[in-house]
Amino acid sequence: MNSIPTYLAHFAARAYYDVRQLGTRSRGLYSTRTRQVGLLIAAAFLLLLWVDPRLYHSLKPRDVLRLVPVPAPSLQLVAQLENLNATLFEHYRSHGGSLPEQVFPYQALTRAQQARYKLLSADTDGLYLFTTLIRQVQDQIPDLLAALTVVIEALGPRGVAFSFLEGPSDDLTASVFNDVLQPLLLSLGVPSQRIRIITESPAIDFNNVNRIEALAELRNEALQPLWQDPTLRENVKAIVFFNDVYLKAEHVLEMLYMHQVNGAGMTAAWDWYKREPAYFYDVWVARTVSLSNAFSSSRLYANV
Ligand SMILES: *[C@@H]1O[C@H](CO)[C@@H](O)[C@H](O)[C@H]1NC(C)=O
């Protein structure tokens, strides 16, 4: 039984001997002051690595270039987006559905974007008309309504007008437009005479009409407020026509910004068909800056 203390005593004696020996064996390593200082510096460096391993990877300054945009919403916008989410959540739930997830996790602008798009609201008489022919978009609605909320804050509720033509849909699009979108626009301060939302338009039998004529008529119908409201017609700065894509506020604002700084008559978003390999989609409708057909413009095509 006393073999364990004996063993431990023997082990301690052996370790002590080894430590004593270490000094003589490795004397060459830290015999001079320069070497001692060198070893101290190396030890300090290893200690630093242990404290912050990032030093090992890079000595570049950290967090100077943030790659992730940082949205900077006002408290008012945060409250508006939260209210909107709660209202939509309840609307979908009470109609037996569930709220689709937003594709864009945040819609609010960064500080840099807020500064950039100030230009768009500088002229307080000007109006932007937002218009769409749309149906069956209940999955896109959370992003669309959040984007509109952010756009209205950026442009000011007195600088915007809406003309939406909806239908036919067999999902919640019409009910959201009537019960959520209309009250939302009013609550954000858009004057009621600048909001025209028509839901449940009848289906068009495209087999029995000229498709282009029928679509042109629909577009003119959506543009009615321009003819009916002289204050809109005389002050409109741009008409934003959008379709059933997932929208983010900065998409709309950047296009308006580019439109304005280029003094353009018409500006279109880049219309991807596929990204790998990349194709530009609507070559039939699209025009280049020089008004030529996008399809026959080899320069444009080469850049795709
Ligand atoms: C929206 O509201 C629902 C219900 O309160 C909540 O579960 C969800 O996390 C909210 N979503 C966002 C993006 O805030």
Instruction: Output the pLDDT for position 292.
Output: 75
Q: Are residues 37 and 136 in the same domain?
A: no
pLDDT in tens, 168-184: 999 999 999 999 999 99
Instruction: Output the pLDDT for position 130.
Output: 98
- Between 214 and 4, the more confident residue is 214
Structural domain includes residue 279? yes
Structural domain includes residue 108? yes
pLDDT in tens, 71-114: 999 999 999 999 999 999 999 999 999 999 999 989 999 999 99
Instruction: Output the pLDDT for position 12.
Output: 85
Structural domain includes residue 256? yes
**Token pair of 185 as six digits:** 């626009």
- Res 1 pLDDT > 60: no
Instruction: Output the pLDDT for position 268.
Output: 85
Structural domain includes residue 217? yes
Does the CB atom of residue 83 touch ligand 1 within 6 A?
no
Structural domain includes residue 63? no
Phi and psi (nearest 5°) for 286? -65, 145
Structural domain includes residue 70? no
Q: What distance in angstroms lies between residue 80's CA and the mean position of ligand 1's atoms?
A: 13
Structural domain includes residue 62? no
Q: What distance in angstroms lies between residue 83's CA and the mean position of ligand 1's atoms?
A: 10
Give the confidence band of 281 by pLDDT, cuts at 50, 70, 90.
Answer: confident
Q: Are residues 134 and 254 in the same domain?
A: yes
Kindly state the average pLDDT of the residues 124-136.
Answer: 94
Q: Are residues 254 and 109 in the same domain?
A: yes
Q: Which of 99, 103, 143, 145 to mutate to test the pocket of ligand 1 (most atoms within 8 A of CB)?
A: 99
Max Cα distance, the chain (Å): 108
Q: Are residues 132 and 209 in the same domain?
A: yes
- Res 146 pLDDT > 60: yes
Count of structural domains within the chain: 3
Which residue's alpha carbon is at the smallest distance from atom 9 of ligand 1?
A: 85
Whole domain around residue 223: which residue ranges?
Answer: 75-264
Q: What distance in angstroms lies between residue 172's CA and the mean position of ligand 1's atoms?
A: 18
Q: Are residues 278 and 260 in the same domain?
A: no
Q: Are residues 11 and 149 in the same domain?
A: no
Instruction: Output the pLDDT for position 30.
Output: 64
Instruction: Output the pLDDT for position 278.
Output: 77
- Res 199 pLDDT > 50: yes
Read out DSSP for 166-221? E---SSSHHHHIIIIIHHHHHHTT--GGGEEEE--PPP--TTSS-HHHHHHHHHHH
Does the CB atom of residue 89 touch ligand 1 within 6 A?
yes
Does the CB atom of residue 86 touch ligand 1 within 6 A?
yes
Coil/strand/helix, residue 135: coil
CB atoms within 10 A of CB 250: 23
- Res 227 pLDDT > 90: yes
Q: Are residues 12 and 108 in the same domain?
A: no
Q: What percent of the chain has pLDDT over 90?
A: 63
Q: Are residues 126 and 105 in the same domain?
A: yes
- Res 140 pLDDT > 90: yes
Q: Are residues 125 and 31 in the same domain?
A: no
Cα separation of 242 and 82, whole Å?
25
Q: Where in the chain does DSSP place strands (E)?
A: 127-134, 160-166, 195-198, 236-242, 272-275, 278-280
Q: What percent of the chain has pLDDT over 70?
A: 88
